[in-house]
Structure 1
Amino acid sequence: MSEMSGVANSSAIAAKKKLSSNFLKKGISIALFSGLMYGFYSAFMTLGMKKGVWADWYGDNNTGLSVLVITYLLGALGSAVNDTCSAVWAIAYATIKGKIGDFFRCIRTTPGGVMILAALIGGPISSTAYVVGLQMAGSIVIPITALCPAIGAILGRILFKQELNKRMMAGIVICVASSFLIGSTSLSGDAPEGMFLGLCIAFIAALGWGFEGCVAGYGTSMIDSEIGITIRQATSGLSNLIILVPIFGMIFGDGVGFSINLVTQAFTSGSAMIWFALSGLCAFVSYMCWYNGNSMCGAALGMACNGTYSFWGPFCCWIVLGVFAGMDGWALPPIVWIAAVLMIFGILVIAMNPLDLFKKKNKDHDKEVDNYETT
C-alpha cells in the first residue's frame, strides 16, 4: 500500500514539475513575442510618418515648418497619435473583457497612481525621444533603447536596493559595449546628418523606460496586468496629446492653436492613420505580452526576452520599410546586427546566469536516464 502511495506521489510531483516547466516555457514564448510586436510597432509607426500629410511635413514641401518643429514637435505628435491609437485598442480590449469598470476604479488607487506616474515617464518623455531618434537616425537607434533593462537594473539598485551582483554588472558592461559599437557607425563619413544627436536622444528613451520599469513593477504587483496596461496606454496617449504637443507648439511654433491645427491634420490623414492604427495595435499587444510574460516567467527573464526587440526592431523596419515599402536606407551594416545580438546576450546575462539553462537541461537528462534504468 505504501509503495503504491509512493508511486502516486512521485507521479504527482513529476506532473507538477512538467506543468511548471510548460508554464515557464509559455511565459518565455509570450515575452519573446512582445519583442517581435515591438519591432512591428516601430516599423508601422515610421511608415505612417512617411505617408499622407506627414510626407508633406517631412518632404521638401513642408509648408514653411521650421527645423525645430519638424524635429521635435512632429516627433511628439507621431508618438501622441500612436499612443492614442494604442489606448483605444487597450480600452476596447478592457471593455470586451468586462474590465472597464475596474479600470476606472484602479485609477483612483495608489497602485493606479504609480502606473500613471510610470506612464508619464515612459510616454511623453521616452516615447517622444524614441520617435525623434527614429526620425533622425533610423532603426539604428532601436538597439540603443534596448539598454533600458541595464539601466533598470542600475536604478533598481539605487532606488530600491535591489540586487546588482557581478554577473549583472558584466551584463551591463556587455550592453554598454554593444551600444558603443552601434554608435560608432554614426562617426563614419557615410553617416547621415544628425545621426549622433539621434542616438543621444534615443538614450534618453532608454533612461526613461528603465526608470518606468522600476516604478511600474510596484504597480503591476498589486493590480491586474491588463488593467495596468490600459492605464499605462491611456495615460501615455492623453498626456502626449494634451500636454507635450501643446507645450512644444508654444515653444517651437506659434502657440497652442498651431499645435491643434497639426493634430487635426494628423488624425484626418487617412493614408497615414491606417499605419498608425496598426502600430498602435502592435504597441498594445507588445506591452500586454510583456506584462503577461513577466508574470509567468519572472520580471528579470521577461525583460530579457522583451529586450530581443533590439534585433526585431531593425529587422522589422528593414522588412516593412525597405522590402515592402521599397524605401532606401533601411539596410543596416553588419556591425549593427552583431552588436544587436551581443546586446541580447548582455540582457540575458543581467536577467539570469546562462549556464543555468545548460545545468537544467543536464539535470533533466540525468532524470530521464535514471527513470529509464529503473524501468
Structure 2
Amino acid sequence: MTQTATPSAAAVAAKRAMSKSFQIRGIITAISSGMTYGMYTAFMTYAMAMGVWAVWYGENSGLSEFAVLFLLSALGAGLTDGCAAIWALIMAAMRGKLGDFGRSFKTRPGVMMLIAALFGGPFASTCYVVGLQMAGSIVVPISALCPAIGAILARFLFKQKLTPRMMLGILICFSASAMIGIASSGGNEAHPNMMLGLLFGFLAALGWGIEGCVCGYGVSIIDSEVGITIREVTIGISNLLVLVPILAWIGHADGFAMLGKAIGDMDSMKWFIVAGFLCYFNFMLWYRGNSMCGAALGMACNGAFSFWGPFFCWLILGVFFGLDGWNMVPVAWLGAIMMVMGIFTIATNPLEFFRRKEQ
C-alpha cells in the first residue's frame, strides 16, 4: 500500500508567501506602467512645443488650420511611436528575438496584432495627440475609458459576459468622464476648444478599446516582447509613411519635408527619443505586470494612468518646465480618481481581497 506524501504546513505557507510576493511585484510593475504612460505623454507634449514645432504652431507658420490640427498631431504621434519602434527593435535584437519578430507576421495572431495596431496607432494615437493639443492633460482620463469600452466590445465581438460588477465599473467610468467634461465646459482660456478635444480623447479610447480586445488574444500566443515590437513597428511605419503624407496632401503641405525638418531638429527630437523609450517601456511593464499578477488586476493597475497622466503633465510641464495651461480643477482630479476606481471594478472583484485575507 503506497502512501501519498502531503506537503507540510511550512511548505504550504512558504508557497503562499512566494505567490503573494510575486503578485505584489506584479502589481508594482503594472502600476509603474501607468506612471510611465503619464511620463511619455508629458515628454511628447513638451517635444511638440520646442524648436521647429513652436514655429509650426505659431501664427505665421504658413500652414492651414487642418494641417496644424491634424497633420502636426499625426507627425508628433508618429515620431514618438517611431522612436518606440527603434527602441523595441534594439531590445529584441539584444535578446535574440528578431527572428521571432519576422516569423510572427506569417501567423494568424501576428496578423491580428498588426491589424489591431492600426486601430491603436494611426487612429487612436493621432486622436489622442489632437485631444491633448486642444484640451490639455484633461484628455488623459477620458482616453482611460478604453478598458470600459474594451469590456463592452468584448461582449459583442467575443461573446464575453458582462457581470453586474463589470457594468457597475463601466457606469462609474462613464460618470467620471461626464464629470470631467462638465467641469471643463465652463471655459478655459488656455484651451478654448476643450469639448472638441474631449471628443477626440473619447475616439482615442474607442481605438485603444478595439486594440485591447484583439491584442488580448494575440499576446496570449505570441511572446509579449515580440508582440510589442510588432505593435510599435506597425504604428511607426503606418503613421510616418502613410498617415502623415495623406494628411499633408489634404492640408496642402509637404509632409516628407516636414518629417525631415522634425527629425533634424534636435531641440525637439531629443525629447521625442525620451518619449519613445518611455512609450516602449510602458508597454513592456504593462505586459510583464499582467503576466505576474493576472490580466484583470494588471489592467486595473495600468488604468491608473487616468490619474498619473494629468499628474505628470502638471509636474513635468507645469512645474518643472514652467508651461502654462497644465493645471486641473479639483473636480477633474476627483473624476480621474473615480475613473481608476471604475477600471479597478471592471477588472477585478474588490471583495476578493477581503476573502484572501480571511483565508
Structures share a fold, TM > 0.5? yes
1:267 aligns to what? 263
1:56 aligns to what? 55
1:148 and 2:166 aligned:
no
Counterparts of residues 1-375 of structure 1 (less than 5 Å): 6=6, 8-62=7-61, 64-190=62-188, 192-254=191-253, 258-363=254-359
Amino acid at match of 1:170: L
Aligned to 1:59, the other structure's residue is in SS state coil
Task: Point out the more displaced range, 183-192 or 314-323.
Answer: 183-192
1:366 aligns to what? none
Gaps of 5+ in 1: 364-375
Q: TM-score, normalised by structure 2?
A: 0.96
1:107 positional shift? 1.9
Amino acid at match of 1:54: W
Aligned to 1:326, the other structure's residue is in SS state coil
Tell me the percent identity: 54
Gaps of 5+ in 2: none
Q: d(CA) in 2 for partners of 1:107 and 1:280?
A: 23
1:100 positional shift? 1.2
1:311 positional shift? 0.4
Q: d(CA) in 1 for partners of 2:105 and 2:18?
A: 35
Q: d(CA) in 1 for partners of 2:106 and 2:346?
A: 35
Aligned to 2:8, the other structure's residue is in SS state helix
Amino acid at match of 1:72: F
1:193 positional shift? 1.6
Amino acid at match of 2:241: I
Q: d(CA) in 2 for partners of 1:189 and 1:40?
A: 27
Q: How many residues align?
A: 357
1:269 positional shift? 0.7
1:21 positional shift? 1.5
Q: d(CA) in 2 for partners of 1:361 and 1:253?
A: 63
Q: What does the per-residue CA deviation read over 1:69-97, in whole Å, with 9 as the maximum and x for residues that have no partner?
A: 00000000000000000000000011111
**Cα RMSD, aligned residues only:** 1.6
Contact 2:27 2:301 (8 Å CA) reproduced: yes
Amino acid at match of 2:275: S
Q: d(CA) in 2 for partners of 1:294 and 1:227?
A: 16
Q: d(CA) in 2 for partners of 1:328 and 1:205?
A: 24
Task: Point out the more displaced range, 183-192 or 96-105.
Answer: 183-192
Amino acid at match of 1:218: Y
